[in-house]
């Protein structure tokens, strides 16, 4: 059975332990990158969540896993809130999978 992991600052990720995530604390993007590669190479994780500020710094490293079926690397907001980077990454992935932009804002 595959696991789900989360990588980020302590105060952002500790709550996920209560719902069964494998929590990996990182103080900086370099540490987050090392953890990401270790988790991805282990083959134990289907999903790895990473906070936006680290994901932005690790853009090239994350891109290396785009064509791999596992793990799915999902960007989530960090303690500063959403910067929009995570949503842009999801939008790009959906466009790539579907072939069109199906995520659009409701115009009022």
Q: Give 36's contacts (C-beta < 8 A, 6+ positions apart).
A: 7, 48, 50, 58, 61, 62, 73
Burial 28-44 (b: 16+ CB within 10 A, else e): ebeebbebbeebbeeee
Query: What are φ and ψ of residue 45, in 5° steps?
Result: -115, 130
pLDDT computed for residue 107 by the predictor: 47
Examine the pLDDT at 80 and tell me if it is beyond 70: yes
**pLDDT tier, 103 (very low <50, low <70, confident <90, very high otherwise):** low
The continuous run of DSSP H or E covering 8 comes out as: strand 3-8
Fill in the DSSP letter of residue 54: H
Please tell me the CATH code under which domain 3-98 is placed: 3.40.50.10580
């Amino acid at each position: 059975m595959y696991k789900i992991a989360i990588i980020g600052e302590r105060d952002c990720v500790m709550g996920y332990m209560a719902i069964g995530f494998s929590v990996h604390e990182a103080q900086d993007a370099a540490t987050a990158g090392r953890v990401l590669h270790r988790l991805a190479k282990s083959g134990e994780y289907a999903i790895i969540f990473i906070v936006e500020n680290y994901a932005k710094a690790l853009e090239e490293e994350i891109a290396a896993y785009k064509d791999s079926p596992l793990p799915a690397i999902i960007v989530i907001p960090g303690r500063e809130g959403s910067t929009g980077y995570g949503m842009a990454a999801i939008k790009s992935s959906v466009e790539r999978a579907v072939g069109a932009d199906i995520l659009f804002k409701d115009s009022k």
